């Protein structure tokens, strides 16, 4: 699978390439700034673009904007954005266009190589991955006493967290060591409690959950 | 029995000689002489200008001069009339002399303060002395006039003392005493010429009821003494209550007045031991005491208490010519113009506050304190106030006139004071900002040292262990995994630290994303209404710190349930609102919040914005920062 990497810091750029190549990805190009990234994606039409959010030229959110631009031109491209900090707004923007094949992780997750590579593969396969830190922040937000979220059981909250992170019912069942049927039951309870419309697929429900949690 | 109230013109000690026509009568029975016409005509002349003085606020000098000259002429005529009588004692000359004395003082007072009634009062006193002297005139008709007003000079002297320096009677006590004095001097005096057969008052006599005369005289005596005493007490109280500058003005006349009103009745009681049986000596003493009252007034004038008010017009000339040498000249010019050395100027500050000319906070005086206040405005805008001595200036009209004249100059003072205060504030705030930046650097250095640096040292150690364990694959794997986890923790700590210095979202996305991130981490539900507008980096940073600090304060101190942040662009820049529904009462004096709020105010101030804190106790806190965005 062809990958293009955008990262302005040389060491990390090379490190990322190394990790992905070892995991069996074909690193087609390395870009040190947002413009080069867009050009590389245009040239190589990769399956996946992995990019840092803060990049030259403006050292602001150029990487994210480049990724969204690539997605607009090449809708089939999967996106994995990395950042030093988890920002809810970025997640919402990333998910807004299309939830399939989108990931948003803290940079430090790269260190946990196996888990990272598994996340990369999930994104390539059209899955959705949100950083656990971000999900924890979303779920941990202070809410008014009458918020429906307070009515969820601890188990339901666990399920909701995994839903928000982009896990499928099967993955959630595996993680929590329960049956998939039990997960489905939990999910429908959660939908009832939070008054959400059941999404057509696992990816759409990520956006619904994140939007709900962002309120 | 000597009556305590012994009028200077009357010796009715025993009535044996039938002299109710003044002290002189004892020695010189009135003799018919002189021309009635000569007396009547000047009296008519005198009445005219006296009215003119009261009616016109600024009488021309010539009519006044004419009036005084006429009075002097009359005095001379009277002196000749009285003294040319056979055997006339020289003391009769005291009437015209006292009159001249009062006339001179009245003239000076009128010239200096045309609006003040004191001048008119003293001119009336001059007339009264002149008329009282007529009691000894050789013509019965003239003598009758003299008899009727014999005690008027005494009442006028009392009136003068009560009305000084404003020209108006202050307070009910003063008014009552003065009315009482006039009643005692004029009404209670009437029986002594209406009901007595043996006196010189023959032309006026209606009946012969000596017992009623005695009763009236006894009443007059008692009441008069009481009123004089009350006057002395009141003057003493006023002198005691007076402030420094007021006292300077009041002292000469009040002290002399107290002495006079105490001595005049006292002397008549002590007549026996002091003067023997000579009523002329008593009269001389009393007449000199009251006749010289204007000298005491002159003393007050010399001490600056009765300065001319023509200066209100002069004031504009002085302001125009002035080189703008500060505020003292303005106040001095005003004090000179109003004749009130105690006059103060206050400046209107922002809100409803007042400041003195040095920029220190001040308050308007309580109207009951005897200080009057007149606002100074430029158009509809209030710029300051004149505070004056209401005891010295009874009529606020000249003060208002002066207020209109000095308005622009005072506004300039206000702007100058504001500018200086702003400069000082800026200097202090710059010092605080420098100190805050320094403290922040220290904090970051300490956090890096205590946190990340220490962790990295440990990690270096771990890497060393890992190198040594190279021979054992399992150990390497375990140690490498431990190293990675610890690095994760170090990175998380570093991320927090960096976020605390300046959140990445603020740099990358501006306030909207940054406040979202902040709200996500607040322990209280936080409603965020922040758009995606971008502002200059310095403005965004300032807004960020206002929001972060205000939210932190609310969490720490407000005991709030909900927080709300709103940021919206304005025509000139941006407006930030942070609201909580807590206990309120925040502010520079609020619990623990003072330093933080001050720091915020500094940050906002540096960018030319302003920070407002509305925190009524029990009703939540609203912190608003408005910042301009210079392009």
In SS3 terms, B172-201 reads as HHHHHHHHHHHHHHHHCCCHHHHCCCCCCC
Burial classification of residue B333, based on how many CB atoms lie within 10 Å of its CB (0-12 exposed, 13-18 middle, 19 or more buried): buried
CB-based contacts of B255, cutoff 8 Å, min separation 6: B239, B296
- How high is the pLDDT of residue B56? 40
Identify the closest residue of chain A to B514 by CA–CA distance: A87
Task: Give residue B595's pLDDT.
Answer: 63
pLDDT tens sequence across B406-465: 888 888 888 888 888 888 888 888 888 888 888 888 888 888 887 788 888 888 888 888
Q: From the centroid of its chain, how far is CA B572?
A: 41
Order of strands across the sheet with A48-52? A26-31, A2-6, A48-52, A78-83, A102-106, A128-130
Put the strands of the sheet holding B610-614 in their side by side order.
B526-530, B563-569, B573-580, B621-628, B610-614
Contacts of B508 in chain A (CB under 8 A): 53-54, 60-61
Cα–Cα distance for residue pair B26/B30, rounded to 1 Å: 10
Do the Cβ atoms of A88 and B508 come within 8 Å? Answer: no
CA B588 to CA A166: how far, in whole Å? 48
Q: Residue B446: what pLDDT?
A: 84
Cβ of A132: how many Cβ atoms within 10 Å?
16
DSSP-derived letter for residue A78 is: E
Tell me what the mean pLDDT of segment A129-148 comes to.
Answer: 87
Query: What long-range pairs does A34-40 form, CB within 8 A, spacing at least 24?
Result: A34/A6, A34/A62, A34/A63, A34/A65, A34/A66, A35/A66, A36/A6, A37/A4, A37/A6, A37/A63, A37/A66, A37/A67, A37/A70, A38/A66, A38/A69, A38/A70, A40/A4, A40/A6
Strand arrangement, sheet containing B361-362: B361-362, B354-355, B344-348, B381-389, B371-378
3-state secondary structure B383-437: EEEEEEECCCCCCCHHHHHHHHHHHHHHHHHHHHHHHHHHHHHHHHHHHHHHHHH
Tokens representing residue B157 in the block: 């002297």
Which pLDDT does position B40 carry in this prediction? 33
CB B97 within 8 A of CB B107: no
Q: What is the pLDDT of residue B9?
A: 42
Helix pair angle (B140-148, B36-55), 10° resolution? 30
Residue among A53, A112, A144 whose CB faces B562 most closely: A144
Give which of B291, B269, B201, B287 is closest to B5, Cα–Cα.
B269
Residues of A in contact with B499 (CB under 8 A): 85
CA distance B630 to A48: 43
Which pair of tokens denotes residue B497? 């630290």
List residues in chain B touching A: CB distance below 8 A.
Answer: 484, 487-488, 491-492, 495, 498-499, 503-505, 507-509, 512-513, 516-517, 519-526, 562
Measured in degrees and rounded to the nearest 5, phi and psi for residue B576 equal -115, 130
Give the C-alpha separation, B508 to A52, whole Å. Answer: 12
CA distances from B136 to A56, B19, B130, B145 (A): 117, 10, 11, 10
Cβ-contact B343, B393 below 8 angstroms: no
| Model ipTM value | 0.84
The first and second tokens of residue B164, run together, are: 């000084």
Using H for helix, E for strand and C for coil, what is the string for B443-483? HHHHHHHHHHHHHHHHHHHHHHHHHHHHHCHHHHHHHHHHH
Low-confidence ranges of chain B (pLDDT < 50): 1-59, 310, 323-325, 589-593
Position A45 confidence tier, pLDDT thresholds 50, 70, 90: very high
Residue B7: the pLDDT is 43
Cβ-nearest to A142 among B508, B513, B523:
B523
> Chain A residues contacting B, CB < 8 Å?
53-54, 59-61, 83-85, 87-90, 108, 111-112, 137-138, 140-144, 147
| pLDDT over 90 at A36, yes or no | yes
> Does the CA dihedral B13-B19-B22-B26 come out positive or negative?
negative
pLDDT at B464: 80
Select the residue from B491, B504, B520 to test the A interface by mutation, using most A Cβ atoms within 10 A.
B520
**SS3 label, residue B362:** strand
d(CA B213, CA B192): 5
List of long-range contacts for A199-203, beta carbons under 8 Å, 24+ apart: A202/A127, A202/A128, A202/A166, A202/A167, A202/A168, A202/A169, A203/A98, A203/A99, A203/A100, A203/A102, A203/A126, A203/A127, A203/A128, A203/A166
The residue whose two tokens read 């407000």 is: B558
CA distance B396 to B388: 9
Task: Classify B378 as helix, strand or coil.
Answer: strand
Cβ B583 vs Cβ B559: under 8 Å: yes
Question: Can you say whether the dihedral through the CA atoms of B430, B433, B439, B444 is positive or negative?
Answer: negative
Q: Is-contact B201 B21, C-beta < 8 A?
A: yes
Length reported for chain A: 215
Strand partners, B584: none
Taking CA–CA distances from A139, the nearest residue in chain B reads: B520
CA B9, CA B149: separation in Å to the nearest integer? 10
The DSSP-derived string for B540-603 is HHHHHHHHHHHHHHIIIII--S-EEEEEEE-SSEEEEEEEE-S----STTSTTTHHHHHHHHHH
**Better-scored residue on pLDDT, A74 or B426:** A74
Residues of chain B positioned with their CB less than 8 A from the CB of A141: 519-520, 522, 525
pLDDT bracket for residue A35 (50, 70, 90): very high
- A87 vs B522: CB contact, 8 Å cut-off? no
Q: How far away is chain A from the Cα of B502, in angstroms, using its nearest Cα?
A: 12
Chain centroid to Cα B444, Å, comes to 55
Cβ atoms B567, B515 nearer than 8 A? yes
pLDDT for B244: 65
Average pLDDT over residues A164-192: 89
Please name the residue of chain A whose CA is at the shortest distance from the CA of residue B496: A85
Residue B524 per-residue DSSP state:
S
Separation between Cα atoms, residue B336 and residue B625, nearest integer Å: 47
Interchain proximity B517–A90, CB inside 8 Å: no
Range name among A47-61, A148-162, B73-87, B480-494 with the lowest pLDDT average: B73-87
CB neighbours of B117 closer than 8 A, spacing ≥ 6?
A: B54, B163, B167, B168
Residues of A in contact with B522 (CB under 8 A): 141-142
Give the pairing type, strands B381-389 and B610-614: unpaired
Which of A207, A119, A110 is closest to A164 using CA atoms? A207
Give the span between the Cα atoms of A92 and B240, in whole angstroms: 81
Mean pLDDT of chain A: 88
Per-residue pLDDT, B61: 62
DSSP SS3 for B106: helix
At B18 the three-state DSSP class reads coil
Q: What is the pLDDT of residue B369?
A: 77
Which pLDDT score, from 0 to 100, does residue A81 have? 95
The residue of A142, A148, A164, A213 whose CB has the most chain B CBs within 10 angstroms, and thus the best one to mutate to test that interface, is A142
Contacts of residue B622, defined as CB under 8 A and 6 or more positions apart, other chains included, come to B577, B578, B579, B612, B613, B614, B615
With CB atoms and an 8 Å threshold, state whether B516 touches A84: no
């Amino acid at each position: 699978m062809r990958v293009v990497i955008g990262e302005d810091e040389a060491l990390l750029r090379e490190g990322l390439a190394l990790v992905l190549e070892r995991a069996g990805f074909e690193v087609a190009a390395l870009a040190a700034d947002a413009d080069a990234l867009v050009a590389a994606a245009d040239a190589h039409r990769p399956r996946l673009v992995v990019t840092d959010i803060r990049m030259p030229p403006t050292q602001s959110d150029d990487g994210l904007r480049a990724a969204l631009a690539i997605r607009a031109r090449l809708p089939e491209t999967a996106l994995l954005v990395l950042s030093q900090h988890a920002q809810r707004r970025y997640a919402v923007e990333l998910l807004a266009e299309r939830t399939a094949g989108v990931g948003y992780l803290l940079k430090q997750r790269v260190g946990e190589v196996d888990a990272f590579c598994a996340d990369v593969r999930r994104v390539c396969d059209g899955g959705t991955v949100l950083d656990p830190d971000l999900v924890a922040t979303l779920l941990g937000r202070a809410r008014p006493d009458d918020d429906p979220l307070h009515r969820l059981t601890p188990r339901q909250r666990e399920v909701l967290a995994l839903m928000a992170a982009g896990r499928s019912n099967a993955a959630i069942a595996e993680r929590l060591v329960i049956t998939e049927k039990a997960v489905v039951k939990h999910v429908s309870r959660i939908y009832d409690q939070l008054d959400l419309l059941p999404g057509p697929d696992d990816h759409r429900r990520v956006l619904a959950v994140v939007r709900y949690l962002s309120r | 029995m000597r009556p305590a109230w012994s009028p200077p013109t009357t010796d009715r000690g025993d009535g044996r000689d039938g002299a109710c026509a003044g002290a002189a009568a004892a020695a010189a029975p009135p003799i018919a002489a002189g021309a009635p016409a000569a007396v009547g005509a000047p009296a008519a002349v005198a009445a005219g200008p006296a009215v003119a003085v009261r009616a016109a606020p600024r009488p021309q000098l010539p009519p006044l001069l004419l009036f005084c000259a006429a009075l002097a002429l009359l005095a001379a005529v009277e002196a000749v009339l009285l003294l040319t009588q056979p055997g006339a004692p020289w003391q009769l000359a005291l009437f015209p002399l006292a009159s001249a004395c009062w006339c001179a003082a009245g003239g000076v007072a009128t010239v200096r303060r045309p609006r003040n009634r004191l001048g008119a009062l003293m001119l009336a006193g001059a007339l009264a002395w002149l008329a009282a002297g007529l009691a000894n005139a050789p013509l019965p008709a003239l003598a009758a006039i003299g008899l009727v007003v014999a005690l008027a000079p005494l009442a006028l002297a009392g009136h003068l003392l009560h009305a000084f320096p404003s020209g108006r009677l202050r307070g009910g006590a003063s008014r009552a005493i003065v009315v009482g004095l006039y009643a005692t001097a004029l009404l209670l005096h009437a029986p002594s010429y209406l009901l007595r057969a043996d006196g010189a008052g023959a032309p006026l006599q209606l009946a012969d009821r000596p017992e009623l005369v005695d009763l009236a005289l006894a009443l007059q005596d008692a009441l008069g003494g009481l009123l004089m005493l009350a006057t002395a007490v009141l003057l003493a109280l006023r002198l005691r209550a007076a402030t420094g500058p007021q006292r300077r003005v009041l002292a000469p006349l009040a002290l002399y007045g107290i002495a006079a009103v105490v001595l005049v009745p006292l002397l008549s009681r002590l007549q026996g031991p002091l003067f023997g049986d000579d009523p002329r000596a008593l009269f001389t003493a009393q007449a000199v005491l009251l006749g010289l009252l204007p000298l005491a007034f002159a003393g007050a004038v010399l001490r600056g208490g009765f300065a001319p008010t023509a200066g209100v017009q002069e004031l504009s000339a002085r302001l125009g010519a002035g080189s703008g040498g500060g505020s003292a000249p303005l106040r001095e010019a005003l004090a000179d113009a109003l004749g009130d050395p105690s006059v103060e100027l206050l400046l209107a500050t922002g809100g409803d506050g007042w400041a003195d000319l040095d920029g220190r906070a001040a308050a308007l005086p309580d109207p009951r304190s005897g200080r009057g206040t007149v606002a100074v405005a430029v158009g509809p805008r209030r710029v300051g106030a004149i505070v004056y001595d209401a005891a010295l200036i009874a009529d606020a009209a000249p003060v208002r006139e002066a207020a209109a004249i000095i308005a622009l100059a005072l506004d300039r003072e206000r702007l100058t004071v504001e500018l200086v205060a702003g400069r000082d504030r800026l200097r202090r705030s710059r010092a605080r900002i420098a100190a805050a930046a320094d403290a922040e650097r220290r904090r970051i250095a300490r956090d890096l040292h205590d946190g990340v640096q220490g962790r990295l040292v440990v990690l270096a150690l771990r890497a060393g262990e890992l190198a040594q364990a190279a021979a054992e694959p399992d150990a390497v794997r375990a140690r490498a995994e431990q190293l990675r986890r610890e690095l994760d923790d170090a990175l998380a700590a570093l991320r927090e630290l960096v976020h605390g210095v300046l959140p990445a979202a603020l740099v990358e996305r501006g306030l909207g994303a940054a406040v979202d991130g902040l709200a996500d981490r607040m322990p209280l539900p936080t409603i965020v209404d922040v758009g995606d507008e971008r502002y200059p980096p310095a403005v965004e940073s300032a807004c960020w710190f206002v929001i972060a600090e205000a939210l932190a304060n609310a969490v720490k101190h407000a005991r709030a349930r909900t927080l709300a942040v709103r940021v919206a662009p304005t025509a000139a820049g941006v407006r930030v609102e942070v609201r909580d529904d807590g206990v309120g009462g925040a502010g520079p004096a609020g619990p623990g919040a003072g330093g933080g709020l001050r720091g915020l105010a500094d940050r906002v101030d540096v960018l030319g914005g302003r920070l407002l804190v509305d925190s009524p106790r029990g009703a939540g806190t609203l912190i608003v920062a408005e910042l301009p965005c210079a392009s």
